[in-house]
């Protein structure tokens, strides 16, 4: 829904969209494609994954995520769950994160054209890549795992990513995009002891494999999402509880989304649609390594001509702050408004409030002092 005070700005951007083919500002918050059908008319979570019964038994506190009931924490505070991840190993319920199957004889050229990464790698590879608009702005961030010659498992950031891919499907039927989220589940398992407790995965040769955890068939993706070694483990919904029980039998702790958010801030992992949007290009967002301009044409490639990390005028920057912020606060440098906070929280294992913020490049150097306006007071901070 569009709030009344936003109506004039949205009308202006809609006019730009009609005339220029896309708006100048990010309008993902107004895009109905971001809502699951079951969540469109209610704020309460109505979708539950196969881990839900086990999570209830552990006293999980839930919050909504795209209509899903997502565990926010299991204990009285998230700090213990973050610490066990850094010191031992923990698993996180990632079932609410959208997953896609992209298949067909045209799957590779389609994904190659739609994303910035070089996906012409053999099966068993995982590629972190971006979706761009025609203007080079970042629409989304994908994790693409190649399972076979014509089979790709895609981890999306939101439902907007799948809508964007479907909008550009070729008309010859050579590519199929199916959202598999509701029929599957995902557990993220990370920590320094992950390899010891999951020895069958620690010996795998490739970043992604179709293998087993115990007797549960999984797609295992080796990803250091929270800054620790480990895997995303995907299986079908009917085997979800079996996967959960198998992991718990191996003395793997559980952790909620609050701990996950804290750990990803510590690891410096920005979130598409929150920390960077269509208003930012990959080099400004610090994601230039995901762009392979030498692979040939991809959507948005032409708009990046002449751009590089050396040409940017602003950067997505990490801050340490004197208080835990909420996001969207203005940032001041030398007494003048210079940028704004995108996301923020507390780094439980570093004992420091952290934030991402957009700042002019001249103020983005490590150690630069800043102030953040927070409910009428100026909170000190520093570029990390």
Q: Which of 15-19, 124-128, 283-287, 345-349 has the lowest mean pLDDT?
A: 15-19
The per-residue pLDDT for 32 is 62
If pLDDT is split at 50, 70 and 90, which confidence band does 13 have?
A: confident
Do 49 and 237 form a contact (C-beta atoms < 8 A)?
yes
Residues 84 and 22 grouped into a single domain: no
Q: What is the mean pLDDT of residues 55-62?
A: 97
282-315: per-residue pLDDT in tens? 999 999 999 999 999 999 999 999 999 999 999 9
Write down the residue that tokens 């993706």 correspond to. 221
Q: List pLDDT tens digits, range 164-204.
A: 999 999 999 999 999 999 999 999 999 999 999 999 999 88
Closest CA to 66 of 29, 28, 38, 100: 38
- Asked whether the predicted pLDDT for residue 41 surpasses 70, the reply is no
Give the span between the Cα atoms of 364 and 313, in whole angstroms: 10
148 and 160 both lie in a single domain: yes
Q: Across the chain, what does the average pLDDT equal?
A: 93
Specify whether 145 is located in the same domain as 290.
no
The pLDDT tens digits of the residues spanning 116-131 come to 999 999 999 999 999 9
Domain match, 238 and 278 both: no
Q: Is the pLDDT of residue 19 over 90?
A: no
**Do 373 and 313 share a structural domain?**
yes
CATH no. for residue 284?
A: 2.40.30.110
Domain end call among 252, 270, 288 = 270
Residue 16's domain spans which residues?
A: 4-30
Q: Is it the case that residue 40 has pLDDT exceeding 60? A: no
What is the predicted pLDDT for the residue at 25? Answer: 80
Q: What is the pLDDT of residues 215-232, one digit of tens each?
A: 999 999 999 999 999 999
> Considering 270, 286, 304, which residue would you say is the last residue of a domain?
270
Shared-domain flag, residues 179 and 289: no
Task: Indicate if 59 and 164 belong to the same structural domain.
Answer: yes
As a whole number, mean pLDDT of residues 59-82 equals: 95
Quick one: which of 109, 3, 53, 17 has its CA closest to 237? 53
Does residue 366 sit in the same domain as residue 235? no
Strand order in the sheet with 138-148: 126-132, 138-148, 151-155, 99-103, 176-179
Is residue 45 very low, low, confident or very high in pLDDT (cuts 50, 70, 90)?
Answer: confident
Q: Are residues 19 and 64 in the same domain?
A: no
Cα distance between residue 147 and residue 121, in whole Å? 11
Whether 211 and 277 share a structural domain: no
Asked if residue 12 and residue 62 are part of one domain, the reply reads no
Whole-structure pTM value: 0.91
Q: Is the pLDDT of residue 374 over 60?
A: yes
Q: What is the pLDDT of residue 29?
A: 67
The pLDDT-based confidence of 104 (bands split at 50, 70, 90) is very high
Encode pLDDT of 249-261 as tens digits: 999 999 999 999 9
pLDDT at 35: 63
What is the domain-level CATH number for residue 51?
Answer: 3.30.1360.120
- E strands, the chain, where? 61-65, 68-73, 90-93, 99-103, 126-132, 138-148, 151-155, 176-179, 184-190, 208-213, 216-222, 230-236, 253-255, 314-321, 330-333, 336-347, 352-360, 369-374, 377-383
Is residue 349 pLDDT above 60, yes or no? yes
Residues 260 and 333 in one domain: no
Predicted confidence at residue 5, as pLDDT, reads 60
Q: What is the mean pLDDT of residues 359-375?
A: 97
- Boundary (domain end) residue, out of 229, 245, 270: 270
Measured between alpha carbons, how far is 380 from 332 in angstroms, rounded to an integer?
A: 10
Is residue 131 within 8 Å of 161, Cβ to Cβ? yes
Indicate the pLDDT class of residue 71, thresholds 50, 70 and 90.
Answer: very high
> Is residue 3 over pLDDT 80?
no
Number of domains in the chain: 3
pLDDT of 277 higher than 80 = yes
């Amino acid at each position: 829904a569009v709030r009344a005070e936003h109506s004039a700005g949205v009308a202006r951007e809609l006019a730009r969209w009609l005339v220029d083919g896309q708006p100048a500002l990010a309008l993902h918050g107004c895009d109905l494609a971001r809502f699951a059908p079951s969540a469109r008319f209610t704020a309460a979570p109505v979708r539950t994954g196969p881990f839900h019964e086990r999570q209830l038994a552990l006293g999980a506190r839930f919050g909504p995520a795209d209509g899903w009931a997502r565990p926010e924490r299991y204990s009285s505070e998230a700090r213990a769950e973050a610490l066990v991840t850094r010191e031992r190993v923990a698993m996180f319920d990632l079932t609410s994160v959208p997953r896609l199957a992209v298949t067909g004889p045209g799957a590779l050229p389609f994904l190659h054209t739609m994303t910035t990464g070089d996906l012409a790698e053999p099966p068993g590879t995982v590629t972190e890549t971006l979706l761009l608009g025609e203007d080079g702005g970042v629409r989304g961030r994908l994790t693409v795992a190649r399972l076979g010659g014509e089979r790709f498992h895609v981890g999306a950031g939101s439902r907007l990513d799948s809508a964007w891919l479907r909008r550009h499907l070729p008309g010859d039927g050579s590519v199929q995009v199916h959202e598999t989220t509701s029929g599957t589940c995902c557990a993220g398992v990370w920590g320094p002891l992950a390899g010891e407790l999951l020895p069958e995965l620690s010996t795998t040769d490739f970043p992604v494999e179709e293998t087993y955890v115990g007797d549960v068939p999984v797609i295992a993706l080796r990803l250091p999402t929270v800054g620790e070694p480990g895997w995303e483990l995907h299986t079908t919904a009917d085997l979800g509880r079996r996967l959960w029980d198998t992991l718990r039998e191996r003395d793997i702790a559980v952790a909620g989304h609050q701990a996950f958010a804290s750990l990803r801030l510590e690891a410096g992992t920005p979130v598409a649609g929150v920390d960077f949007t269509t208003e930012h290009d990959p080099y400004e967002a610090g994601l230039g390594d995901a762009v392979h301009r030498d692979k040939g044409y991809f959507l948005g490639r032409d708009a990046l001509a002449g751009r590089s990390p050396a040409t940017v005028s602003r950067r997505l920057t990490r801050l340490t702050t004197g208080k835990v912020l909420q996001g969207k606060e203005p940032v001041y440098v030398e007494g003048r408004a210079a940028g704004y906070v995108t996301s923020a929280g507390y780094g439980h294992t570093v004992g420091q409030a952290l934030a991402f913020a957009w700042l002019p490049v001249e103020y983005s150097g490590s150690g630069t002092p800043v102030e953040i306006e927070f409910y009428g007071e100026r909170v000190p901070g520093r570029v990390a």
